[in-house]
Amino acid sequence: MRVGILTGGGDCPGLNAMIRAAVRRGAIVHDYEFLGILKGWLGLIHGDAVPLGLADVEEILPEGGTILGSSRTNPFGKNALEEVPACEKNFSELGLDTLLAVGGDDTLGVARKFSDRGLPMVGAPKTIDNDLSGTDYTFGFWTAIERVMASIDNLRTTARSHERIFIVEAMGRHAGWIAGYGGLAGGADYILTPEESFSLDEILWSLRRRWEAGYHYAVVVVAEGAEWEGREVFQEDLPKDEFGHVYLGGIGFELSKAIGKALAPEFGRRAGDLTRHVVLSHLQRGGTPCAFDRILGTRFGAAAVDLIAAKKFGYMVALVGSSIVPVEITDAVSVTKKVDRDFLDLAQNFYY
């Protein structure tokens, strides 16, 4: 049995742990051979692959990123007429019996389409965004939370010293998992997520109350995809990736300016002195995985290979409660998993 593995979409900590576990489980328990497809679906379009043996994965557990490289390539995009047949031809020329696609909704969405066309695919969910349905957590998420929490802890001390308001922009286009969980873990004083639109007035109101209570500093966390009522964003002016997602960014800066403008005179501060913003950006995604992500990546890697052995094609591995279970890839990619109401209510408990 020859198994291809590819990693697509934004990289995340835990991918190498997953690759290592898949190769070891496959080679030792099932006697499978592995080919690493390079740079996600781009590698399948071009037939770029390398053999993956036990020695190749021996030392990669603590490394961030992915030894296979990644890209946001969509073979079903505007060049589908050439790229879909190219993938199918390379699948057969590389001698693959099956392919393990490791990714978020875009990469797994492509796997589902190939699966519908008859290629034997299995999947494993990864993304720091944790917005994939069917699984309680994706690996990469808890490392990102640790990074957001540590950043808030650091920013709070300088915020307190200078009596400032820090706006921390976290990743998360469609769901506020990173902003919400990172914010709660770091004790953020206000959290803004894509789940609920927000107005500037509600934040100003809360910050005024905090000042009145005697706490003359604050950390506000905003997800990059949070919806600010009345903010004009011209989506058509923004660059897009092959899956049609716009490149976000900038909401933290705008919010910092707006809060500074409204509150600096009221708080007796010079314009430009009261607020600062920090875009955490890819610091949330890079570097070594935390223990939870190493273990989840390892469990997913081994379980995905067991799915292949069980011939459960069209399925991906998922974490439900504390068990690893198979779920249909279709179910995982059809709905974005949002942060639930109870969690958002809990976060509000800590606002003024």
- Return residues touching ligand F6P (CB under 6 A): 9-10, 72, 104, 127-129, 171-173, 224, 248, 285
Give the nearest distance from C-beta 174 to ligand F6P in angstroms.
9
Burial 105-116 (b: 16+ CB within 10 A, else e): bbbbbbbbbbbe
| Helical (H) or strand (E) element with 293 | helix 291-309
Phi-psi domain of 121 (left: phi exceeds 0; alpha: psi -120 through 50; beta: other): beta
Residue 143 to residue 125: CA distance in whole angstroms: 15
CA–centroid distance for 165 within its chain: 27
CA distance 94 to 263: 62
User: Checking phi first, is residue 287 left (phi over 0); if not, alpha (psi -120 to 50) or beta?
Assistant: left
> Which of these, 88, 132, 90, lies nearest to 114 by C-alpha position?
88
Nearest distance from residue 168's CB to ligand F6P, in Å?
Answer: 14
Minimum CB distance to ligand F6P smaller for 127 or for 275: 127
Residue 186 CA to residue 175 CA, distance in Å, equals 18
For ligand F6P, give the closer residue by CB, 104 or 289.
Answer: 104
Considering beta carbons, is residue 17 or 279 the nearer one to ligand F6P?
Answer: 279
Taking the least distance from each CB to ligand F6P, the nearer of 72 and 276 is 72
How far from 169 is each of 4, 33, 137, CA to CA, in Å?
36, 43, 22
Gap between the Cα atoms of 220 and 192, Å rounded: 8
CB of 224 to ligand F6P, least distance (A): 6
Strands of the chain (E only): list them.
2-7, 33-37, 49-52, 98-103, 121-125, 165-170, 190-192, 218-223, 275-279, 315-320, 323-328
Q: Name, in order, each residue with C-beta under 8 angstroms of 133's C-beta and a sequence gap of 6 or more.
A: 331, 332, 333, 334, 335, 336, 337
Tell me the three state secondary structure of residue 164.
Answer: coil
Shortest approach of ligand F6P to residue 270 CB, angstroms? 34
Q: In whole angstroms, how close is the CB of 138 to ligand F6P at the nearest point?
A: 10
Q: Could you give the residue numbers annotated as active site?
A: 129
CB of 163 to ligand F6P, least distance (A): 31
Q: Which residue, 64 or 172, is less far from ligand F6P as judged by CB?
A: 172
Partners of 123 in beta bridges: 101, 316
Structure tokens at 351: 């606002």
- Nearer CB in complex with ligand F6P: 238/320: 238
Query: What whole-number distance in Å separates Cα of residue 277 and Cα of residue 14?
Result: 29
- If the CB atoms of residues 54 and 238 are measured against ligand F6P, the closer one turns out to be 238
Q: Cβ of residue 140: shortest distance to ligand F6P, in angstroms?
A: 8
Taking Cα atoms as reference points, which of 35, 27, 39 lies closest to residue 93?
A: 35
